Amino acid sequence: MTASPALVNDIRAASRQLVRELGFLDKTIAGTDLSASGVHAVLEIGLNPGLTAKELSAKLKLEKSTVSRLLKSLETRGEIEQIKSETDGRAFGLSLTAIGEKTFAAIDRFGDNQVHGALSRIRGSDAGTVAEALAAYADALATGVDTTARQDHIHEIVEGYQTGMIGDIAALHARTHGPIIGMGPTFESVVSKGMTEFMPRIGNPVNNSWSVVENGEIIGSISIDGEDLGENIAHLRWFILSERLRGKGLGKQLLLRALEHCDFHEFQEIHLWTLKGLDAARTLYERNGFELADEYVGNQWGKVVTEQMFIRRKP
């Protein structure tokens, strides 16, 4: 269906009004002192007992780090608790506490009252039609996000492990830095070995990765290893971006995701190693609080190059 400009404007105007009337522009909603994300988290956990943090992240369309902060806040308030799975000792399900059940009931009553009140004021339309139209529109929005992104070449940053990322990122590093560090198997093999060791640990809370994916291929990525250096020091690793993505702000977005993760976990320092001569990357690092801490000549990659170590200390 091709919609007329007038129809598109009408739907957009109605959508904006819907957001305002439901109270999503307020700091708290649904008669609670919770944010919109907090209200939705309580509802989803109440409706789906045992829901995992990963599943909640997918339902709310929020990043893992954002959901981690949200859950920590709700747990501190006494609204939720994490219960170890009986079948998988490594997994935890989310459940409402007695306090959370009361919050859930209050939100549910608030929502019911809103809907009943609105439907009682609708003239010339039946409630079933309203429900079907809203559901169809919501489904169309959900379906259309990825399609639009592919058609318009809008690159989305995704979180966590992605199939094929070890090979994609190692190859991207080799092709990008080969002219500086020397072409051949040594550099690519070292990158692959490091990633092969890290990826089974990526699900641990202090570790994470963010990638730009196009047609199933990783064309940009950054990772934080919160374990290998120890002493509450985070290791920023494998930061790379395809040349065709340069100048679009994606490198900055990737770095900010990584820094946000490190700040949330309260690392005292973030360390990274890079090659001398990558001036654009150095500028990006320094603008975000990194300082050059060491510089030395090495040949671990198969060719003698000058390496640099940068450190960002906790703000």
Residue 291: CATH number of its domain: 3.40.630.30
For residue 19, the number of C-alpha atoms closer than 13 Å in the C-beta half-sphere is: 9
Asked whether residue 104 is assigned to any structural domain, the reply reads: yes
Q: Are residues 198 and 300 in the same domain?
A: yes
Q: Are residues 110 and 167 in the same domain?
A: no
Condensed to tens digits (0 to 9), the pLDDT of residues 252-274 reads: 999 999 999 999 999 999 999 99
Point out the domain boundary residue: 70, 99, 121.
121
Phi and psi at residue 213, to the nearest 5°: -115, 135
Q: Are residues 90 and 220 in the same domain?
A: no
Q: Are residues 97 and 190 in the same domain?
A: no
So what's the pLDDT on residue 21? 77
Q: Are residues 265 and 117 in the same domain?
A: no
Rounded Cα distance, 154 and 147, in Å: 10
| 20: CB partners within 8 A, 6+ apart | none
Q: Which amino acid is at 73?
A: S
Rounded Cα distance, 56 and 94, in Å: 9
Q: Are residues 86 and 190 in the same domain?
A: no
Condensed to tens digits (0 to 9), the pLDDT of residues 86-142 reads: 555 556 789 999 999 999 999 988 888 888 788 777 765 565 567 667 766 776 676
Q: Are residues 193 and 76 in the same domain?
A: no
Q: Are residues 228 and 116 in the same domain?
A: no
Report the CATH number at residue 43. Answer: 1.10.10.10
Q: Are residues 306 and 167 in the same domain?
A: yes
Asked whether residue 217 is assigned to any structural domain, the reply reads: yes
Q: How many domains does the chain have?
A: 2
So what's the pLDDT on residue 201? 94
Asked whether residue 137 is assigned to any structural domain, the reply reads: no
Cα separations (Å) of 8 from 33, 139, 143, 153? 34, 17, 17, 22
Domain encompassing residue 201: 157-313
Q: Are residues 178 and 63 in the same domain?
A: no
Rounded Cα distance, 272 and 174, in Å: 18
**87 against 311, higher pLDDT:** 311
Q: Are residues 53 and 99 in the same domain?
A: yes
Asked whether residue 126 is assigned to any structural domain, the reply reads: no
Point out the domain boundary residue: 121, 147, 171.
121
pLDDT band at 152 (very low <50, low <70, confident <90, very high): very low
pLDDT band at 84 (very low <50, low <70, confident <90, very high): confident
Q: Are residues 107 and 32 in the same domain?
A: yes
Rounded Cα distance, 171 and 192, in Å: 9
Asked whether residue 145 is assigned to any structural domain, the reply reads: no
- Can you give the pTM of this predicted structure? 0.54
Phi and psi at residue 285, to the nearest 5°: -60, -50
Mean residue pLDDT across the chain: 83
Q: Which two tokens stand for residue 164?
A: 């094929």
Point out the domain boundary residue: 121, 147, 172.
121
Condensed to tens digits (0 to 9), the pLDDT of residues 199-238 reads: 999 989 999 999 998 888 899 999 999 999 999 999 999 9
pLDDT above 50 for 147? no
Asked whether residue 129 is assigned to any structural domain, the reply reads: no
| 105: CB partners within 8 A, 6+ apart | none
Asked whether residue 22 is assigned to any structural domain, the reply reads: yes
- Residue count of the chain, please give it: 315
How many of the other CB atoms lie within 10 Å of CB of 35? Answer: 16
Asked whether residue 149 is assigned to any structural domain, the reply reads: no
Rounded Cα distance, 213 and 136, in Å: 28
pLDDT above 50 for 148? no
